[in-house]
Structure 1
Amino acid sequence: MILETTKNISEYWDDRYQRKDIGWDLGVVSPPLKNFIDQLQDTSQHILIPGAGNAYEAEYLFSQGFKNVYVLDIAETALQDFRRRCPWFPESQLLHQNFFDLQMKFDLVLEQTFFCALNPNLRSEYALKMSQILPREKSLVGLLFDFPLSEKGPPYGGSKQEYLSYFEPYFIIETFEREEFSHVTREGKELFIKLKRK
């Protein structure tokens, strides 16, 4: 499926959330990301979760004292659902827009199912955009699906070798390995990445 315009993409994802057709949604914080978050010490850093959906990671971060967390999604329904669940979360930190139009800077971006929800043709643009919103030595951390790429999706899979080709021009690769502690529904299907902006 190819969704070229922001309007078409927004309508597509809104429809998925309205129909509760969100099979990728774990209903909880992803275990590898919870483990990573629990090791963070600087609660003042500005953190972005793009394509956040129900944004359990944002909810958890905020509960742990990280008050500069931003949730971005192109689907208004996803953000409305998050507002209802977390009415205390700052409205100004809910960003209803296309990720590729974002003009802010962050200390950390958490990747959780967004990359693999995009049309694979946008992967190079994704890596470039990440390099633009992350200053030097700031990090992109998260999970990428590790199963063969096919036209069936989203989500779209891929391989470590393919993914590295997008990120290596802009990032120092600190970690890019099969995740051992994935949620049971994703066992053997995730790569944990920690990339530092060059």
Structure 2
Amino acid sequence: MSKTPFTAEYWENRYQTGQTGWDAGAITTPLRAYFDQLENKALRILIPGGGNSHEAGYLFEQGFTEVYVVDLAQTPLRNFQERYPAFPADHLIQDDFFHLTGPYDRIVEQTFFCALDPALRRAYAEKMHALLAPGGHLVGVLFDDPLFQDHPPFGGNREEYLTYFADLFEIRTLDRAYNSIPPRAGRELFINLIKR
């Protein structure tokens, strides 16, 4: 377990000092391709650890009406509201993911899992399961790369991830992403996990 407490202050400082290497600056290809095949614009979608949330911006632009973003830090939520002033302010939630209640039809994973202390990974899987509606999907990308042991992003691999998810979810997809952005090519898995 890391000795650094990854508090709201920790993440706020990262945003204030521009230490946001996880931010691709736009929606990434795997998630855009997934969103583009969704037809129901009323799906209730949660983006935890959403940061600047290019994913929420894309969904909003495509007409999705029930998109929610949660982050510990205030700055990225404020940045998002400035970029999308018509986005419902009450759908931007400054809170701890583990305090949320559901249900949601889809939860989007994009660099949130790898930002959490690895000791919380099973708790993450259980909370995702609790937040999803029956038949709901956890979708997104996870790193398939060892990365770092003492600070985010924390890495992992498919075999490890299955130990957290296999009993809680039907594994629709947990495979190497074929359409990653170039800096992440060959280093991430696309997941589509359905609540059992």
* TM-score, normalised by the number of residues in structure 2: 0.96
What is the CA RMSD across the aligned residues, in angstroms?
1.1
How far off its partner does 1:104 sit?
2.3
Query: Could you tell me which residue of structure 1 aligns to residue 92 of structure 2?
Result: 94
Aligned to 2:68: 70
Residues 47 and 110, structure 1, Cα contact 8 Å, conserved in 2: yes
Contact 1:141 1:193 in 2 (8 A): yes
CA deviation vs aligned residue, 1:11-61 (integer Å, no higher than 9, x gap): 000000011100111001010000000000001110000000110010000
Displacement of 1:81 in angstroms is: 1.2
Q: Structure 1: state its 5+ residue gaps.
A: none
2-side partners of 1:20 and 1:73: how far apart?
16
Report which of the two has the higher share of strand: 2
Q: Does 1:139 align with 2:140?
A: no
Distance 2:172 2:36 in 1: 18
Q: What is the aligned partner in structure 2 of residue 50 from structure 1?
A: 48
Structure 2 residue aligned with 1:27: 25
- How many residues are paired up? 195
Q: Give the % identical residues.
A: 47
What is the CA distance between 1:78 and its match in structure 2? 1.2
- State the secondary structure of the residue aligned to 2:37: coil
Take 1:155 and 1:136, find their aligned partners in 2: how far apart are those partners?
A: 30
CA distance in 1, matches of 2:75, 2:150: 24
Give SS of 2:174's match.
strand
Inter-partner Cα distance in structure 1 for 2:39 and 2:79: 29
Q: CA deviation at 1:153?
A: 2.3
Which residue of 1 is the match for residue 177 of structure 2? 179
- Say whether the 8 Å CA contact 1:58–1:70 is kept in structure 2: yes
Q: CA deviation at 1:3?
A: 4.1
Q: Residue 112 of structure 2 corresponds to which residue in structure 1? A: 114
Structure 2 unaligned regions, length at least 5: none
Given candidates 116, 121, 124, the residue that maps to 1:123 is 121
Equivalent AA in structure 1 for residue 172 of structure 2: E
1:2 maps to: 3
Deviates more, 1:112-121 or 1:78-87: 78-87
The CA deviation string for residues 145-177 of structure 1, in whole angstroms up to 9 with x for no partner, is 110154142010001000010001210000000
Query: Where does structure 1 differ by over 4 angstroms across 4 or more consecutive aligned residues?
Result: none
Amino acid at match of 1:169: D
